[in-house]
Amino acid sequence: NAGVMQNPRHLVRRRGQEARLRCSPMKGHSHVYWYRQLPEEGLKFMVYLQKENIIDESGMPKERFSAEFPKEGPSILRIQQVVRGDSAAYFCASSRGQGDEQFFGPGTRLTVL
């Protein structure tokens, strides 16, 4: 029973490029959450999605960031025109239902040069 999978595990981008982070939830889970962890800080909620719907994106910057969770395939967090301040670990979690225990993936560590 595979856990939450994220890829890539490490991603290096130059300023101005795009970053695409993928998350496959646990089997049977249709709720996905993205969190960002800046160095020396805790995780901060970004966005909550169910299949094909964004439920809450209140923690996501309005510019350059977008997220989707299509009917088929993984959830994608997309960051356009990356800047150095986007360097962080991005964690995805999934749950069976809203308010249920969230299971976390290993994270994608994004480095912007």
Partner 1 sequence: GEDVEQSLFLSVREGDSSVINCTYTDSSSTYLYWYKQEPGAGLQLLTYIFSNMDMKQDQRLTVLLNKKDKHLSLRIADTQTGDSAIYFCAEGMDSSYKLIFGSGTRLLVRP
Nearer to partner 1, 9 or 78 (CB): 9
- State how far the Cα of 62 lies from the Cα of 10, in Å rounded to an integer: 24
Which residues is 11 bridged to in the sheet? 110
Burial class (CB in 10 A: 0-12, 13-18, 19+), 40: exposed
| Residues near partner 1 (CB under 8 A) | 3-4, 6, 9, 31, 33, 35, 40-45, 48, 55-56, 59, 91, 93, 95, 98-99, 101-107
10 Å Cβ neighbour count for 50? 13
Nearer to partner 1, 59 or 66 (CB): 59
CB of 81 to partner 1, least distance (A): 27
Which residues is 45 bridged to in the sheet? 35
Nearer to partner 1, 20 or 96 (CB): 96
CB of 53 to partner 1, least distance (A): 13
Nearer to partner 1, 16 or 97 (CB): 97
Which residues is 94 bridged to in the sheet? 32, 103
CB of 24 to partner 1, least distance (A): 13
CB of 48 to partner 1, least distance (A): 5
Report the candidate in 92, 85, 89, 91 with the shortest Cα–Cα distance to residue 113: 85
